[in-house]
Structure 1
Amino acid sequence: MNSEEGTTLTAPQKASGEHRRSMIYASFNFINSIIGSGIIGKYSLHISKFNLSHKQTQITLMLCLYFVADYSIILLIKGGNMSGTHSYQSLVKSTFGFPGFLILSGLQFLYPFIAMISYNITIGDTLTKVFQRIPGVGPDHILAERHFVILLSTLAFTLPLSLYRNIEKLGKVSFLSMVLTLAILIIAIIRASTLGTQILPTENAWVFAKWNAIQAVGVMSFAFICHHNSFLIYGSLDQPTLSNWSRVTHGSVGSALIISAAFAVAGYSTFTGYTQGDIFENYCRNDNLATFGRFCFGLSIITTFPLECFVTREVLSNVICSRDLSKAEHVAITFLIVAVCTSISLAYDCLGVVLELNGVLSATPLIFIIPSACFLKLSSGRWFKGENLLPTILISIGLFVMVTGLTMTGLYPQDCSHGVEMFYCADANVSGTVPPS
C-alpha cells in the first residue's frame, strides 16, 4: 500500500465518518436545546426550597425527571416507527386524528414560542449589565436600554441563524453554546464559594420541602423538554435508527441533567430565597467575574434561540401549508415568528411566571402525556400490563402535575426584580470585587 492509498478514505470509511459526525452534531443540538432551558433549572429550587443538606432528595427528583424525559423521548420515536410517521404532528394525527393534531400543534408551537420570549427577556436583562461595564456607558446610554439590546441581538444574530433551513448546520453553533455554558457553570461555582458565606439565608431556606413544591415539577419539565424538536434532530442523523437515537438521547439528556443539577445547587446555595428566575439577576453589577459570565450567558441564549424557531416554523408550515416551504415562504414565516416573539418580549419582562406557565401548560403534556398516549394507542395489549404500564403511569402523573401546577401558579405566582440591584450589593465585599474578610 503506497502512502496515497494509506491516506485515502474508502466509501465505508467516509460513510462511517459522516455517521459519527451526524451523531455528534445531533447530540450538540439536543444538549443545546435542553440546556437552553436547563441553564435556568436552578429556578425550580427557588420554588421548591429543597434542603441542600438532603442532597439525595434533590437528586432523586432530578433523576426521576431525567428518566421520564429520556424514556418518553425514545418512546416518541418508537411510536413514529410503529406508525410510519416522521414528525410529532404526523404521529399524533395518525393516532388521534385531526383534533389530536390541532391540540399537539398548539402545544408544540406554544412551548418553543414562549421559550424564545424567555430567551429574549434573558438577553435583555443580561447584556445590558455587560454593556454598562464598558467605560462611558451609563444607565442612560442606549446600550443600557433592554429594548435596544433585544432588537440588536435579534437583527444581528438570532434572526440570521433562524433563517437556516437545515438544523444540522446549527451543530457547530450548539457546540459553542455548550462551551459557553461550561464557562458559566464554573463562574457560578466560584461565586457560590465566595458569596454564599456572605449572604445570609432567607427564613426557612433549608426546609426539607415546602407544600408548594409541585410547582418545581412544572419548571423542571420546562428544563428537560426537547420532545418538540426530537423528530427534527432524529431526522438529521445519517443513519436514523432507534439504537443510534437511544445513544444520542441517553448521552444528551444525561449531560443536560448534570449541568442543570450543578446550576441548581450553585444558584440556590448562594442566594437561597433571593434566587431570581434569571440567575445573573442575583449577581451585583460591579462584579467583573459575573459580568464575564453574563456575556457568556447572553451568547449562549442567542445560540439556542434558532433551535426553537426551527420547531415553531415547522409547526406553522405543517398546519398552514402541509408541504415543504418555498424559499420566500420560509423567509416570510421566519420573519413573522421572530417579529411577534420579539414584540412580546419587549413588552413583558418577568421571566419567572413565564417559565411556570410554559412548564405546566406545554412541557408537561409534551413530556408525560402525549408520547405515552400515542404509544398506548399503537401498542397491543391491556393498558395496565407489560410495557404499557409505565406509559399509563406517566399519563396519570402528567395530568396531576398539570392541574396542580396550574392552580398553584394562579394562586401563588412568583415575583421578579427585573433590573433591580439586590440589597446585599450595597456591601462592597459582596460585590465580588473584594475578597471576603
Structure 2
Amino acid sequence: NIFHRFKQFFPALKKFRLPYALNQAGLPFGLLLLMLVGFITDYSIVLLIKGGNLSRSNSYQSLVQNTFGFPGFLILSALQFLYPFIGINITTDNLNNKRIPGVGPDHILAERHFVILLSTCLFTLPLSLYRNIERLGKVSFLSMVLTLTILIIVMIRAATLGPVPTENAWAFAKWNSIQAVGVMSFAFICHHNSFLIYNSLEHPTLSNWSRVTHISVGSALIISAAFAVAGYTTFTGYTQGDIFENYCRNDNLATFGRFCFGLSIITTFPLECFVTREVLSNVICSRRLSKAEHVSITLLIVAVCTALSLAYDCLGVVLELNGALSATPLIFIIPSACYLKLCPGHWFHGEKLIPIMLIIIGLFVMITGLILIGVFPQDCSHGVEMFYCADANVSGTRMLTFYLHILTNSLF
C-alpha cells in the first residue's frame, strides 16, 4: 500500500496554519512563498536521498553522522526528535477543539481532558504501538480522504460566508512574511521520515523516489494552495492560527469539519510517534528494540505528550518556534550542507550553487523568524468565539436547504 508514502507530504493540511500564513504574508505574495517552499521541499527531499546514496546511509541520522561526525548526529537527533514530538503535542491538543451538536458546555463529552484521554486510549495509543510503518497504509489513506473532505468544507464555507472585510485584506505583501515562511516550512516538512518511506519502497531507487516525491509534493502543493486561499478569503485579516477557530459554534457544517479534523489528527499521531521513537532508539542503542522496550518507549512518548496537552491549551507560539527552529534547518540547511560536503568538486560548481543558496536562505529565515516571534508573539484565542458569530445564523436547516439546492441542480 503506497498511501503511507504520500501521507508524509500532507501534514500541512492537518495543522490548519496555511490560511494564517497568507494572513501574515499577504495573499499574492503568500502564494508565491508557498510555491517556493513547495519547490524547495521537493528539491531538498531528493537531495537528502542523493546524500544518503553518496554516503551509503539508510537514515537521516546516519547520513549526518557520516558527514559531520557525532556532534552533527546529536544536533540532528535533537531537531528530529523535537519536530515530531512537538507535532504530536499539537495534534493531541487539537483533539479538544471538536464540538458535538446537542452537547452542552457542562457535558463530559465537552470536557477537553476527557476527550483527549479517551481518544488517546482508544485510538492513538493502539495505532502508535505498530512496529512496521507499512501497517499504517490504510490509516494514511483514510487521512487523505478526510483531508479532501475538510478542503471541500472550507471551500463551501468560502462561498457561503466570506469574505469578512478587513483593512488591507488584499494587499500584495505584508511586513511579517518571514514568519509565514516558518509556518509553511513547518507545514511541508517530511524529511524526518523520508528515509523510512524511501526504504519501504518496493524498488528503492533514486528515480522511483524522485517520481513519488514530485507527484506527492505537487499534489500537496495544489491542495495546500486551495485550502490556504479558501480559508483566508473567507475571514481575511481575522484568520486565526487554526482556521476552525474562525467558524461559529452553531455552524453544523464546520462542526462536521472539526469531526473530520479530529479523525485526521488521530491518523497523524502514529506516524509522528513512529519517527520520534525511531530517533530515540537510534540515540539510546543501535540495535532493534525488543518488544518490551518498544512498548515502554511508546508509552513514555504518548504519556508525556498527553500530559503536556492536558496542561496547556494554547500551543500556537510553540508551532511557530518549531517551524523556525526545527523545520527550517531540516529542510533548507542540513540536506544542502551534507550534499555540499559529500559531492566532489569545488563549491562553486553548477550542481552546488542551489544548495549554497538554500543554506543562506535557511539561515536568514531561521534567524529573522526567531527574532520576529520574540518581538511580535502570536495572541492566543484558543476556544474564543469570534465577534461576528453573535449575529450569525448558520443553522442546520439553512445548510440542508443549501445541499438540497446543489443536489437538485445536479440532477435536473
Give the structure-1-normalised TM-score: 0.88
**Aligned pairs for 1:266-285 within 5 A:** 266-285=230-249
C-alpha distance in structure 2 between counterparts of 1:78 and 1:34, whole Å = 25
Identify the match of residue 182 of structure 1 among 144, 148, 153. Answer: 148
Q: Which amino acid aligns with 2:64?
A: V
Name the CA distance, whole Å, in 1 between partners of 2:385 and 2:262: 19
Match of 1:169 among 135, 140, 144: 135
Query: 1:29 deviation in Å?
Result: 3.0
Task: Provide structure 1 residue ranges, at least 5 long, that are not aligned to the other structure.
Answer: 1-20
Deviations 1:238-273 (A, max 9, x none): 111111111111111111111111111111111112
1:45 corresponds to which residue?
22
Pair 1:91 & 2:63 matched: yes
> In 1, distance between residues paired with 2:14 and 2:392?
32
1:161 to 1:228, Cα distance in 2 relative to 1, 3 A: same
**Match of 2:3?**
25
The one of 46, 71, 78 aligned to 1:106: 78
Render the CA deviation track for 1:135-188: whole Å, top value 9, x for unaligned.
3x2101111111111111111111111111111111110110111111111110
**Alignment partner for residue 196 of structure 2, among 216, 229, 232?**
232
Question: Does residue 1:116 correspond to 2:88, yes or no?
Answer: yes
Residue 33 of structure 2: aligned partner: 61
Q: How many residues align?
A: 400
- 2:405 corresponds in structure 1 to none
Q: Could you say which residue in structure 2 is the equivalent of 1:139?
A: 105
Q: Distance in 2 between matches of 1:26 and 1:179?
A: 13
* Contact 1:72/1:372, CA 8 A, preserved across alignment: yes
1:319 aligns with 2:283: yes
- TM-superposition CA deviations, 1:393-435 (whole Å, max 9, x none): 0000000000000000010011121111111111133668648
What are the within-5 Å matches in structure 2 for residues 386-425 of structure 1?
A: 386-425=350-389
* Cα gap change, 1:370 to 1:242, in 2 (>3 Å): same
Post-superposition Cα deviations, 1:254-300, rounded to whole Å, max 9, x if no partner, equal: 11111111111111111112111111111111111111111111101
Preserved contact between residue 376 and residue 388 of structure 1 (Cα < 8 Å): yes
Report the CA distance shift for 1:144/1:241 in structure 2 as closer, same or farther (over 3 A). Answer: same
In structure 1, what is the Cα distance between the partners aligned to 2:347 and 2:112?
A: 51
Distance 1:331 1:258 in 2: 38
Residue 159 (structure 1) aligned with residue 131 (structure 2): no
Q: Deviations over 1:329-382 (max 9, x none)?
A: 000000101111111111122232122111000000000000000001101112
Query: Once the 2 structures are TM-superposed, how far is the Cα of residue 204 of structure 1 from its aligned partner?
Result: 2.3
**What is the distance in 2 between the residues matched to 1:284 and 1:117?**
25
Match of 1:288 among 243, 252, 267: 252
Counterpart in the other structure of 2:49: 77
**2:218 equivalent in structure 1:** 254
Quote how far apart the aligned CAs of 1:27 are: 3.1
CA 1:229–1:33 in structure 2 vs 1: closer, same or farther (change >3 Å)?
farther
Q: Secondary structure at the match of 1:31?
A: coil
Q: Could you tell me which residue of structure 2 aligns to residue 377 of structure 1?
A: 341
| Conservation of the 8 A alpha-carbon contact between 1:184 and 1:297 | yes
Cross-structure match for 1:426: 390
Q: Name the Cα RMSD after superposition.
A: 1.6
Equivalent residue number for residue 214 of structure 1: 178
Tell me if structure 2 keeps the 8 A contact 1:25–1:168: no
Match of residue 306 from structure 2: 342
Q: Deviations over 1:114-145 (max 9, x none)?
A: 111111121111x2x1x2x1x3x210111111
For residues 326 and 256 of structure 1, what CA distance do their matches in structure 2 show? 36
Structure 2 contact 246–386 (Cα < 8 Å) conserved: yes
Q: Structure 2: 5+ residue runs without aligned partners?
A: 402-412
1 CA distance for matches of 2:36 and 2:142?
29
Q: Return the letter of the residue paired with 2:17.
A: I
CA distance in 1, matches of 2:46, 2:14: 21
Deviation at 1:388, TM superposition (A): 0.7
Contact (CA 8 Å) 2:128, 2:273: kept in 1 or not? yes
Q: Assess if the C-alpha contact under 8 Å between 1:29 and 1:170 holds in 2.
A: no
